[in-house]
Chains A and B, each alone.
Chain A
Amino acid sequence: MAATLPPPRLLPSGDSAVTVEFSRTIDDDANQRVLALDKALAASPIDGITETVPTYRSLLVHYDPGKIGFDALGEKILPIASRPLPPATKARRWRVPVAYGGEHGIDLEDVAKALNTTPDDIIARHAGGDYKVAMIGFTPGWSYLSGLDKSLHMSRRQSPRLLTPAGTISIGGIQAGIQCLAAPSGWHLLGRTPVRTYQLHRNPTFLTEPGDRVTFFAIDHKTFEDMDRAAEAGEIVAEQVDA
């Protein structure tokens, strides 16, 4: 039997939730353990857990203290969280169309300048990446991606924008993102996708799941308009392929 992994830290998030923290930094191994624990808890639920929220480095476990206390829950979670990782299963891959630059990616030129290269080179590096949905959070469907090319790592904007458009494709720090709804953001806006990662009354309402793989491909602005109309009507305009 494989050796167990070092246990995560159990951090109280109030009286009805516990943060199961595997790492303090963005770390793909930690994220794999987060997703594995999430899956394990879904497969064999612990009575009292009401909801789990995977993030880059921790799993937030909401629970009902009327059913289980902090210590008892911790004792049940720790052995599961310390299990060796199960063999990787086949992930879904989404090919996500992006209209880069211009009005859809107002920071593309500045990012190219800051990195001493051309906008086309930035597009090639961003679209050429192999990403994983590490977590979804902040607003519905906002998919945080790991796997951004190191040459594109740059600190966030000094002053965040109060509103950035729906479908924004952006980078911030060492992360990349697919934003669904219009929202404030301090990231650099490279383009927009017509894909709705969240759309009410569509089946599925949420397109992406933590653990999904993502690649991007460039589309022109005319194609964006066409796909955007189709997406508004409920079509999933991202291509799904087996990873």
Chain B
Amino acid sequence: MSRLVIASIGPASSVQDGGRHGAQRYGLTVSGAMDRLSLAAANTLVGNDPFAASVEIGPFGATFTAKDGAVRVAIAGAPRNADVAGKPVAMETSVTLKDGETLTLGFARGGAFTYLAIEGGIKGELVFGSLAVNARAGLGSPYPRPLQAGDEFTTDAASGAPELRIELPKPATGPIRVLLGPQDDEFDDANKALFLDSEWKISATSDRMGYRLEGPAIKHLHGHNIVSDGTVNGSIQVPGNGSPIALMMDRGTSGGYPKIATVITADIGRLAQTSAGTAFRFKQVGMAEAQDEARKFAQLIRGLPDRLRSSDTVELNIEALSDANVAGYAVSAVDAGTWQVTAEP
């Protein structure tokens, strides 16, 4: 067995997977990855199930060292500088750390969460079928809390499989799509329009439980107390002060504020990856479009193995760019994100 030791890691980092389903009726929070597509991409790169447990790394940097043998990992999600022993590692690729080697990840440049998947998965004790950390309820394994320096994962020795990259569709950049409801009738047309037509920013006080939205105050028709009812990932509730909160993966299973709208499944990861302070808008869609997008999103995740490519082609491209002397970006391209932009035809 090899070990992957966390030499350093920032706050808001934890083990996450597809979440803990089936016990919301008892108040058990679902938790799970904030950006499921990136979780699935990282896992697919190292041959894991798409929703296997991985390390969800918050906006700050992190370093991981292989011990007692080689460890194969992959990274996907919020772009950041990454290298192993000074050699750049591109986002959305796998890389094998030899015994003693360290993977260094910088701050997220745009977005918030990057996923580090470990070949063979993370070993831990499943609770309701999940290793996902829910710090408030003391759940999660192997560490039922945010990760910290010194934590380590025991894992299978690296398989020696060739390194891969994964070709994901270009990230969408449009507004975050929502379905109105379930309590949109607690708001008049003017306030629904205010919600849909305004520019919003995510407050810095947001966390895995909820993203607080900064913008105009939304007024209720009949006050802000409704009888508590069930919540879903992406429920947008409006408390008494009129500042909406988008409920995220660590949400309570029920809530007592009117929910004006719900983010569609396909866009929840995009909302999760919207950095604090970045302006964005919502757009209303209908049920048919939302469910069509949800099915396409599920299909995209199922089809991820077909998007794997040999990572040799990436290295060849870097060399080609260097040779052509257009590689100003590529040379300074410890910066994988920038490199990807320059490589785009």
Contacts and interface: CB of A to CB of B under 8 A. Distances in A.
B82 interface: no
Contact of B229 (A55, A142, A206): A55
Contact of B181 (A13, A24, A65, A71): A13
A66 B253 CA distance: 23
Name B's interface SS.
mixed
B29 interface: yes
Given A15-B265, A65-B294, A140-B137, A206 B26 contact: yes
Contacts of B66: none
A7 B264 CA distance: 27
A69 B228 contact: no
Given A60-B230, A65-B295, A66-B298, A11 B182 contact: yes
Nearest to B137: A140
B64 to A, nearest CB: 29
Interface string A73-109: 0000000000000000000000000000000000000
B118 to A, nearest CB: 25
B252 interface: yes
Contacts of B316: none
Contacts of B293: 15
A136 interface: yes
B230 A12 contact: no
Nearest to A186: B256
B230 A19 contact: yes
A15 B229 contact: no
A14 B232 CA distance: 8
Given A13-B232, A14-B290, A16-B232, A138 B27 contact: yes
Given A66-B298, A142-B27, A137 B21 contact: no
Interface stretch (A46-54, A217-225, A231-239): A46-54
Interface string A21-62: 100111000000000001000000000001111111110101
Contacts of A205: 26
Given A14-B234, A53-B254, A206 B23 contact: yes
Contacts of B5: none
Contacts of A14: 179, 232-235, 262-265, 290
A138 B228 contact: yes
Interface in B271-321: 287, 290-291, 293-295, 298
B183 interface: yes
Contacts of B22: 51
Interface of B: 21-29, 127, 136-139, 179-183, 226-235, 252-255, 259, 262-265, 287, 290-291, 293-295, 298
10 contacts: A14-B234, A16-B294, A17-B230, A21-B229, A25-B227, A137-B228, A137-B252, A140-B28, A141-B27, A200-B127
